[in-house]
Structure 1
Amino acid sequence: MEERSAEGTDPPVAGTASASDEGTVIATRALSKRFRGGQLAVDGLDLTVPAGSVFGFLGPNGSGKTTTIRMLMGLIEPTSGTARVLGQPMPRATRAVLPHVGALIEGPALYGFLSGRDNLLRYDAADPTADPRTRRTRVEAALDRVGLTAAAGKKAKAYSLGMKQRLGLAAALLQPRRLLVLDEPTNGLDPQGMREIRSLVRELASDGTTVFLSSHLLDEIEQVCTHAAVMAQGRLITQGPVAELAAGARGRLVVTTPDPGDAARVLKEQGVADLVVTETGVSAEPPDRELAELNAALVTAGVRVRGFGVERASLEDAFVALTGEGFDVAG
């Protein structure tokens, strides 16, 4: 059982938004969640998600991402702090906000004895804002959008994990949404399915939908997201445009050569640290000196240099630099 919110300020009336909400779809201030027993899952989170962005929410196992998402969606109350979604306070404005939000959190809840199509029909019938006259048309369109038309008549209990993920995403897309919240949307998908979901996310963003995406696949985030935030141990480490986060980490000096042993020896003599030797060459932490001098030293020593340069840092490099640890499956 969770503790109740300690937030005491009265929220604005549903349908209103302050000037600070302009251009922001999600905003949290000092948002915290402490569970019974003293576990502090989220600690003073200040998160800002720009409208129209594809926002990646990153963090190692147990970092508080799913707890944060549950608070944003009004599923649990914060212990302290505030959360606003589409300019409205959550969870107080849940009824006003959720009709404009599509969500896939911790996997879809499906009726196994119903077909994929009938599951979507039931989801849509439970939405008081949905027009029953266009229900079947919208269900078929959602099935087609996630590539499940051919399997629409099959019972959900016979679906693979990837197909269930697709069906959950289809449920989130039954109506136009201002915000789409996806928790591990590519879980269980094969590479082709992952590419299709990436393409769909880009398409939704181009149509004006803000996508808030939690994932443990850093390369996926880097390919599809415009902005990102990094969580660790319940606290926000950093947030901002993905390109800027990656730029904040140092790249790697990469030397491609058939003489990796000799190259490593020369680089070490030149004061280069953190050497990694492979069959095709050497990589290292870029030194604070003129790289042309290193290249000249390699050539002078008779090393056959086929490639030489600094590869830009990836989002994974930035994550490791920020958290001091590798990336684990989101929790």
Structure 2
Amino acid sequence: MGEVSATEPERSEARAGTGEPVIATRGLTKRYRGGQLAVDGLDLTVPAGSVFGFLGPNGSGKTTTIRMLMGLIEPTSGTARVLGQPMPRATRAVLPHVGALIEGPALYGFLSGRDNLIRYDSADPAADPRTRRARVAAALDRVGLTAAAGKKAKAYSLGMKQRLGLAAALLQPRRLLVLDEPTNGLDPQGMREIRTLVRELASDGTTVFLSSHLLDEIEQVCTHAAVMAQGRLLTQGPVAELSAGARGRLVVATPDPAEAARVLKEQGVGDVVATDDRVTGEPPDRDLAEVNAALVTAGVRVRGFTVERASLEDAFVALTGEGFDVAG
């Protein structure tokens, strides 16, 4: 029997988790004027070398958390450490090692994509002006914007602007890359390219902290994840463990869906959904062999009987009790 190859997230997970966390918060809290509690006692740990997915429904406090981690706003209470340094006190020491794309890129519309990156790089005191144009060209190539480098940024589509913002974050080697909705506005091909880029960065040793509302994207590329709702952390850990914590779906393939649905309900299967040739539902707390036997005894022609592995979306819904919408 041949060996089973590990997926890229699994290989990255094996590399992650050693040494001091790249991000660590303890009791991190942000309360705005008027009493609005945006982030409530957050204890977050992002292992070095991980691709960390930060998940939560609209208004869950993700972007507020990211802004505190980057020193853009002060926490009301609690602590945040990034690359081993306290934030926001160590902002000047930490940010040169961090690439970030938060709430979309800020661009000069009257400048070309290339000239925008030159401006960004010129503002970085650690950037070597002798290698500036070469690094700008390399960053543009890495995000697929070489052909549009001379085009004014105001003529860029939303997806092209996202790519340019990501290029700005990649002008220098980074220990940490923070991306807030990086695939916003991208077509499926662009999303695949960004996913591939994130994997490449992780394989090079960069820790990637990725906020997104696209759960399938997170599941494909992330090694670890955290779920927030209403400002509080619900869970965090390796993606495989989060998915395993949710129950899968019982799937019965049959040409008798109506009768199968009736029997499954009698056997305690919940949320039963029947289509032309299959019935699905939440597995009951009993031996599934007995459920299968009940179907056969009732004369249902069973052509397939299995439990599909729970997805990250199943875990999210189980934790939050709601579907996923645009991240906030």
TM-score of the superposed pair, with normalisation by structure 2: 0.93
Deviation at 1:312, TM superposition (A): 1.0
Alignment of 1:263 onto 2:255: no
Residue in 2 that maps onto 1:109 = 106
Could you tell me which of 136, 142, 145 is aligned with 1:145?
142
2:234 corresponds to which letter in structure 1? I
Partner of 2:164: helix, strand, or coil? helix
Could you tell me which of 72, 76, 92 is aligned with 1:75?
72
Could you tell me which of 191, 203, 212 is aligned with 1:206?
203
Could you tell me which of 248, 254, 259 is aligned with 1:251?
248
Alignment of 1:85 onto 2:82: yes
Residue in 2 that maps onto 1:184 = 181
Distance 2:135 2:92 in 1: 22
Deviation at 1:259, TM superposition (A): 1.8
Could you tell me which of 255, 270, 287 is aligned with 1:290?
287
Q: Deviations over 1:231-254 (max 9, x none)?
A: 111111111001111111111101
Could you tell me which of 111, 117, 120 is aligned with 2:117?
120
Could you tell me which of 165, 172, 175 is aligned with 1:175?
172
Residue in 2 that maps onto 1:319 = 316
Larger deviation, residues 67-76 vs 280-289: 280-289
Partner of 1:211: helix, strand, or coil? strand
Distance 2:103 2:276 in 1: 42
Q: Give matches, 1:18-37, under 5 Å.
A: 22-37=19-34
State the identity %: 91
Residue in 2 that maps onto 1:309 = 306
Larger deviation, residues 283-292 vs 164-173: 283-292
Distance 1:237 1:275 in 2: 27
Partner of 2:46: helix, strand, or coil? strand
Partner of 2:205: helix, strand, or coil? coil
Distance 1:193 1:50 in 2: 27
Larger deviation, residues 254-263 vs 157-166: 254-263
Deviation at 1:293, TM superposition (A): 2.5
Distance 1:153 1:307 in 2: 57
Residue in 2 that maps onto 1:65 = 62
Partner of 1:254: helix, strand, or coil? strand
4+ long deviations beyond 6 Å: none
- Determine if contact 2:20/2:84 at 8 Å carries over to the other structure: no
Alignment of 1:161 onto 2:162: no
> What is the root-mean-square deviation in Å for CA atoms of aligned residues?
1.2
Residue in 2 that maps onto 1:225 = 222
Deviation at 1:151, TM superposition (A): 0.8
Q: Deviations over 1:245-274 (max 9, x none)?
A: 111111110112222111101212333232
Distance 1:43 1:184 in 2: 22
Deviation at 1:299, TM superposition (A): 2.8
Distance 1:289 1:22 in 2: 43
Q: Deviations over 1:152-176 (max 9, x none)?
A: 1111111110000000000000010
Partner of 2:166: helix, strand, or coil? helix
Residue in 1 that maps onto 2:236 = 239
Larger deviation, residues 272-281 vs 42-51: 272-281
Distance 1:279 1:68 in 2: 46
Deviation at 1:325, TM superposition (A): 1.4
Structure 2 runs not aligned, ≥5 long: 1-17
Partner of 1:289: helix, strand, or coil? coil
Residue in 1 that maps onto 2:96 = 99
Deviation at 1:302, TM superposition (A): 2.9
Partner of 1:275: helix, strand, or coil? strand
1:128 corresponds to which letter in structure 2? P
